[in-house]
Structure 1
Amino acid sequence: MKHQTGTPSATSLPRAPRDSSNRRMTKYFIMMAIRVVCFILMVVITPYGWQTAIFAVGAVFLPYVAVVLANVGDDVHEPDAESPLQALTAEPPRPAEPLPQRPNVIEVRETRPE
């Protein structure tokens, strides 16, 4: 694990577990929908032949593949985000120009209505 110095940027944080779980469930449901379609086509398409065998293989083995893919999770390594502060040039900071000094006096003027 890489040790970061300073404050981590929001783009370098890992994905939330909830997002990963939602992504895996979506993949699982899509594969199960494909399995249902394979099963229906296996029964509906006549005459039975090599197409039926392909749909049968899909209907039988897709649950296994779906469970394996759902349990694997997201092991894809995303490139580390770089802090925008690192992209800045290394110029020394200029000293701030002093603000013009005003006296710290509050002046109240009253005018008479005419």
Structure 2
Amino acid sequence: MFFIILAADRPGLLEKRLEHRQRHIDYWVGQGDALKVAGAMLSGDGPDATPIGSSFLIEAADEAAARALVAADPFTLEGIFEDDLTVQPIRPAIGVWRKE
């Protein structure tokens, strides 16, 4: 099953986010095929936009497994992500990464 996850950062933690960014990236790279795509949510669409959270498209057995992946993310462990994140099951149908 696939899930869209939106994890907003707690306000005022940009420096802490940048400090732990490489651990965050390494963690998700280590999840192999479970991670389909991920990236920072931004404060706007201009050149001065800053990260305000993270978004993920992941594959997991169920919502509990999807939440467990985010719970082990260094951004979660360091208190960067807000406690209430969005975990939405989806059914991808089209797109370049889909092989159908």
TM category (shorter chain) comes to under 0.3
Between Structure 1 and Structure 2, which shows a larger proportion of helix residues?
1
Between Structure 1 and Structure 2, which shows a larger proportion of strand residues?
2
Pick the structure with greater CA Rg: 1
- Give the structure-2-normalised TM-score: 0.25
